[in-house]
């Protein structure tokens, strides 16, 4: 099998046991989520060879690498901090792991550095670079070794929010263009939306959930998910589609038969993923003529009991039998609308309401 396979992997620490763990990572970005101390980093350390498992096997591209020294595994590992070698300049850092005949060629390295927007930094020293630049250099340094799998341990956690957004988009594009199987450990919701193809949730050393992002997002109704993570609730509704129109700061994208409108300019043909907060959604019995640019016809699947402290209720709806949406309205509004399970209603939200959390990668 191409990609990575963990078979009955097990490691015992005093007071904590990781595994037995079975996991497959093909040519995808697999995001591993889990609370602190659930064993996320330990998994990466074991795969990379920095730590040894007590039992089980690590199969990479069909080869058992469990007992291989880490320098021969051909694995890329990006840590929380970039750990650029301070005694070397930018370019020497990038080519530190370069091997004749195995790593990227000179022109390939140049293209990669240009692609990541760090070519102009080649002659610079490490000192004085921004955190985002350093993490990009650290990524380039790993990529030029042509790793068989990329491991990433919260690489954006120490960066400013403005860098994070740009870097997420660059990361996904670079990884997908090179078709590198990736395991990305995080506890940031934005990382999941921006990067994940598949999701694994780790809890007390075991994988308790393992599926695609799309499937994971369908479990918006918390009662269907016994190990629900904060990641899937309260943040909002995730919708992803292909951009069909972009002009004068307005972008339209298609989600199955629906056309949605958002602010911002994104390339036609690329994919965007948006997040809409439940409190930004307006429910209506009829089609209303308003200034809001988005109107969807949905069916109510479940209305939660009102939350006494806030006086609000969560209304769960389904769009085209595919997409789960949740809206937060006051209990008074629910009573006035007279809505109940099974009713068909309209969801309205402004073009400025969604937050674009995934962008740039075209299918």
Q: Site residues (CB under 8 A) for other proteins?
A: 48-50, 69-72, 74-77, 79, 81-87, 96-97, 99, 126-127, 129, 134, 141-142, 145
Q: CA-based angle 96:99:100, to the nearest 5?
A: 135
**Least distance from C-beta 62 to other proteins, angstroms?**
20
Rounded-to-integer distance, Cα 140 and Cα 326, Å: 40
Smaller CB separation from other proteins, 28 or 153:
153
**Least distance from C-beta 353 to other proteins, angstroms?**
39
CB of 194 within 8 A of CB of 275? no
Question: Exposure of 80 by Cβ count < 10 A (0-12 exposed, 13-18 middle, 19+ buried)?
Answer: middle
Smaller CB separation from other proteins, 66 or 145:
145
Which tokens sit at 272? 């965007």
CB of 283 within 8 A of CB of 339? yes
20 prior amide bond cis, ω within 30 = yes
Smaller CB separation from other proteins, 182 or 314:
182
DSSP 307: B
Smaller CB separation from other proteins, 145 or 169:
145
**Least distance from C-beta 98 to other proteins, angstroms?**
9
Smaller CB separation from other proteins, 45 or 314:
45
**Least distance from C-beta 120 to other proteins, angstroms?**
19
Rounded-to-integer distance, Cα 198 and Cα 275, Å: 18
- Count of alpha carbons within 13 angstroms of residue 92, beta-carbon side: 9
**Least distance from C-beta 225 to other proteins, angstroms?**
35
**Least distance from C-beta 94 to other proteins, angstroms?**
11
3-state secondary structure of 226: coil
Smaller CB separation from other proteins, 3 or 97:
97
């Amino acid at each position: 099998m191409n990609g990575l396979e963990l078979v009955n992997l097990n490691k015992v620490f005093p007071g904590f046991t990781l595994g037995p763990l079975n996991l497959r990572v093909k040519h995808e970005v697999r995001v591993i989520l889990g609370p602190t101390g659930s064993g996320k980093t330990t998994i990466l350390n074991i795969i990379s060879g920095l730590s040894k498992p007590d039992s089980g096997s690590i199969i990479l591209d069909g080869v058992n690498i469990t007992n291989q020294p880490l320098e021969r595994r051909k694995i890329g590992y990006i840590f929380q901090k970039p750990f650029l070698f301070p005694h070397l300049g930018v370019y020497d850092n990038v080519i530190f792991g370069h091997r004749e005949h195995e790593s990227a060629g000179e022109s390939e390295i140049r293209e990669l550095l240009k692609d990541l927007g760090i070519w102009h930094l080649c002659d610079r020293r490490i000192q004085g670079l921004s955190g985002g630049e350093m993490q990009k250099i650290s990524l380039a340094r790993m990529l030029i070794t042509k790793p068989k799998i990329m491991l990433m341990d919260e690489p954006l956690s120490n960066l400013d929010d403005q860098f994070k957004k740009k870097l997420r988009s660059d990361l996904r594009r670079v990884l997908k263009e090179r078709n590198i199987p990736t395991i990305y450990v995080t506890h940031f919701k934005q990382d999941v939306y921006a990067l994940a193809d598949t999701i694994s949730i780790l809890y007390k050393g075991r994988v308790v959930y393992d599926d695609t992002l799309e499937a994971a997002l369908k479990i918006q109704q918390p009662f269907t998910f016994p190990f629900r993570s904060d990641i899937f609730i309260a943040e909002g509704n995730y919708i992803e589609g292909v951009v069909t129109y972009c002009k004068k700061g307005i972008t339209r994208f298609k989600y199955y038969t629906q056309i949605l409108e958002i602010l911002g300019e994104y390339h036609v043909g690329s994919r965007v993923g948006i997040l809409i907060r439940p409190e930004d959604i307006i429910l209506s019995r009829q089609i209303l003529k308003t200034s809001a640019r988005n109107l969807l016809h949905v069916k109510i699947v479940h209305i939660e009991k009102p939350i006494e402290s806030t006086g609000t209720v969560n209304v769960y709806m389904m769009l085209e039998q595919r997409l789960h949406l949740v809206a937060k309205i006051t209990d008074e509004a629910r009573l006035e609308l007279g809505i109940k399970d099974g009713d068909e209603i309209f969801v309205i939200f402004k073009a400025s309401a969604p937050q674009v959390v995934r962008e740039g990668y075209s299918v």
